[in-house]
Structure 1
Amino acid sequence: MRTLEIKKNDSNQRLDKFMQKHFKTMPKSMMYMYIRKKCVKLNGKKVSGDEMLKEGDVLTFYIKDEFFEGAEEKHYEFLKAPKKLNIVYEDENILLLDKKPGVIVHPDKSYHFDSLISRVLHYLYDKGEYDPEQEQAFCPALVNRIDRNTGGIVIAAKNAESLRILNQKMKTRELEKFYLCLLHGKPKKDSDTLTGYITKNESKNKVTVHPKPVEGGKEIKTKYKILEFDGRYSLAEVELLTGRTHQIRAHMAYIGHPLVGDTKYGKNKKAPDSFKYQALYSYKLRFNFTTDAGILDYLNGKEFEVKDVPFVK
């Protein structure tokens, strides 16, 4: 028999979801078998699995020790990652990070030990703000993603309540993201809101823009404004009114002005040698809450900006 007390970061979630996160090696079918056989108790009472956990609740488990041993593993892979971060803003709830091009946000098939989330965990661990031994299910997490070869602001949530709030704000588009990009040539209009539809080829990880609705297509809206033009390249600010894979890169290429350095959508447009990655940066973030933000309400109306964008002089 083992007992666990629910802490703040583990509260406000279903019991079965908590168990899936905590007992990482336990098959889901076995988890529900333990629940059915009354091997799991919540405050001494039998459970069905859909109970919402509250801070201070006590769970009692009559299950194999091997699952606890897996959950209490003390070898932390994230400690192999560098803890170097470019921090735009930090408080007790969130981190705003300036991710540099070339860094992956989450581990992928080419992952060896370094990713942005691993760096965040290493950083918070060294600060004493994250201890896996004290957290039974929660782990600090990234709220948004940016492609490996794109730079810009990524939000990290330090606690479960902030993560829940920010995930909801992302869905309701109460976080406004602005990008800077360098375009080949200059569009006919200095500012415009482009519309269209986008489909994705999963095997090639490439999207196609269509002027009219197509099967499997998703609507896209891309708002841009030309800031500068040097006779060859345009510096543009872009606001994503919809957030689709490669939307800015594909949409600007579709109108005949691909991003400098973009080998996937730039066709035969050659970039200067100094451009190792496409010239695209998520440089500004604005919190524009229109619904209750709970413990993050103090962020409403605040705007954060990256000053050092590689392709802006």
Structure 2
Amino acid sequence: MEPVPQPQENSEELYEHHKFVASKGQEPLRVDKFLMNFIEYATRNKIQQAAKSGNIWVNGTVVKQNYKVKAGDEVKVLFAHPPHEHLLVPEAIPLTIVYEDEALLVVNKSAGMVVHPGHGNYSGTLINALLHHTKDLPENSNERPGLVHRIDKDTSGLLVVAKTEHAMTHLSQQFFDKTSEREYIALVWGNVEDDSGTVSGHIARNPKNRLQMQVFPEGNEGKEAVTHYTVLERLGYVTLISCRLETGRTHQIRVHMKYIGHTLFNDERYGGDKILKGTTFTKYKQFVENTFKILPRQALHAKTLGFVHPVSGDRMRFDSEIPTDLGDCIDKWRRYSKHSH
């Protein structure tokens, strides 16, 4: 049999979809398992299909799914089609626009909506909706139209979107200079001891689980992150807090609160979907499970957003209602904490 010619990695037919370099502490691990830790929404089946089709490369060579990744290996997933996130399709998805003018718009995003397309979510995102609403959106440094900042899929709340290049530059600079105002409401596990405080600790990806972020207190990894919190209401086994962001890192509030021992309520990715505080009574367990059903996501809402308008120079401030699911969950805890003492 003729040997199968290896395609060249730089051949025009192949596009890089993912690239990871295994960290220094990487124990030998099968490449399919390694990629499962790194790629959000990937299934084992999809990764194995990619391996069978010769789409997984390590250090420039095609590998099989049982290849063991070692420290320093460069792992790439290459396909013959460009990454979907560059194939942005306008979609007629309803948007809650709280303000709009020639330069920008402010959207109140519902929980469950992904902000921008990426692996596993190529449609139904906020960007697909925005492109339908506004024809020409400027691209940010990551080629993502209109986005000045983002909030997680299961976080609800306010986002500002730039409609012109000038607005994009101006607003991005405010976020970079930490002059924008962002306040979130969160329900966290446990009784937060101090009435207010600041959490600062660099944030980077968790080397053991790529879908999580982690705090590196020494500050030699990741990016600086600062969150100021204030207790709004103590509800027994949970606390309602307000968080003001000084920086806007991925999962910042979720990671910072977990770091100080107060994981967000029902935050599945960080372990908040388990009963972390409270009694062992079956009745209590039932109560918590009911509240998880009412709020099937992390208890986080981007409530207030403030910035200087890039054209008029006016200070603008927007405030949003707490969404029903979060409001109902808080009410249930209020009633519970009153009756259980």
Give the TM bin, normalised by the shorter chain. Answer: 0.5 to 0.7
With over 3 angstroms needed to count, the CA separation of the structure-2 counterparts of 1:296 and 1:187, relative to structure 1, is: same
With over 3 angstroms needed to count, the CA separation of the structure-2 counterparts of 1:281 and 1:131, relative to structure 1, is: closer
2:214 is aligned to 208
Aligned match for 1:304, one of 318, 335, 341: 318
Once the two structures are overlaid, the 10-residue window that deviates more, 269-278 or 112-121, is 269-278
CA distance in 1, matches of 2:219, 2:305: 32
With over 3 angstroms needed to count, the CA separation of the structure-2 counterparts of 1:163 and 1:205, relative to structure 1, is: same
- One-letter amino acid matched to 1:199: A
2:119 is aligned to 109
Q: Deviations over 1:30-53 (max 9, x none)?
A: xxxxxxxxxxxxxxxxxxxxxxxx
Aligned match for 1:280, one of 267, 279, 300: 300
Contact 1:209 1:251 in 2 (8 A): yes
What secondary structure sits across from 1:205 in the alignment? Answer: strand
1:194 is aligned to 199
Contact 1:84 1:123 in 2 (8 A): no
CA distance in 1, matches of 2:228, 2:121: 34
With over 3 angstroms needed to count, the CA separation of the structure-2 counterparts of 1:255 and 1:159, relative to structure 1, is: same
**Residue 122 of structure 1, CA deviation:** 0.6
Question: 1:121-200, aligned counterparts within 5 Å?
Answer: 121-125=131-135, 130=136, 141-200=146-205
With over 3 angstroms needed to count, the CA separation of the structure-2 counterparts of 1:231 and 1:104, relative to structure 1, is: same
Contact 2:93 2:124 in 1 (8 A): no
With over 3 angstroms needed to count, the CA separation of the structure-2 counterparts of 1:77 and 1:200, relative to structure 1, is: closer
2:311 is aligned to 295
CA distance in 2, matches of 1:139, 1:255: 33
Contact 1:83 1:119 in 2 (8 A): yes
**Residue 214 of structure 1, CA deviation:** 4.8
**Residue 308 of structure 1, CA deviation:** 3.6
With over 3 angstroms needed to count, the CA separation of the structure-2 counterparts of 1:92 and 1:140, relative to structure 1, is: farther
**Residue 177 of structure 1, CA deviation:** 0.7
With over 3 angstroms needed to count, the CA separation of the structure-2 counterparts of 1:195 and 1:77, relative to structure 1, is: closer
Contact 1:209 1:254 in 2 (8 A): yes
CA distance in 1, matches of 2:158, 2:137: 25
2:268 is aligned to 263
2:89 is aligned to 78
With over 3 angstroms needed to count, the CA separation of the structure-2 counterparts of 1:213 and 1:122, relative to structure 1, is: same
Identity of aligned residues (%): 34
1:91 is aligned to 101
What secondary structure sits across from 1:312 in the alignment? Answer: helix
What secondary structure sits across from 2:268 in the alignment? Answer: coil
- One-letter amino acid matched to 1:163: M
Q: Give ranges in structure 1 of 5+ residues lacking alignment.
A: 1-75, 133-137
Q: TM-score, normalised by structure 2?
A: 0.59
- One-letter amino acid matched to 2:89: F
What secondary structure sits across from 2:326 in the alignment? Answer: coil
CA distance in 1, matches of 2:202, 2:144: 36
Q: Deviations over 1:253-292 (max 9, x none)?
A: 12221111111223573362222110111110112x5xxx
CA distance in 2, matches of 1:94, 1:119: 15
**Residue 77 of structure 1, CA deviation:** 5.4
CA distance in 2, matches of 1:216, 1:197: 7
CA distance in 1, matches of 2:272, 2:103: 43
**Residue 217 of structure 1, CA deviation:** 4.0
Contact 2:113 2:154 in 1 (8 A): yes
Return structure 1 stretches of 4+ with deviation > 6 angstroms: none
- One-letter amino acid matched to 2:321: K
CA distance in 2, matches of 1:194, 1:117: 31
Q: Deviations over 1:81-109 (max 9, x none)?
A: 23310112112211100111111111111
CA RMSD of aligned residues (A): 2.6
Q: TM-score, normalised by structure 1?
A: 0.64
What secondary structure sits across from 2:185 in the alignment? Answer: strand
CA distance in 2, matches of 1:201, 1:274: 30
With over 3 angstroms needed to count, the CA separation of the structure-2 counterparts of 1:267 and 1:113, relative to structure 1, is: closer
What secondary structure sits across from 1:112 in the alignment? Answer: coil
With over 3 angstroms needed to count, the CA separation of the structure-2 counterparts of 1:141 and 1:90, relative to structure 1, is: same
Aligned match for 1:235, one of 232, 240, 244: 240
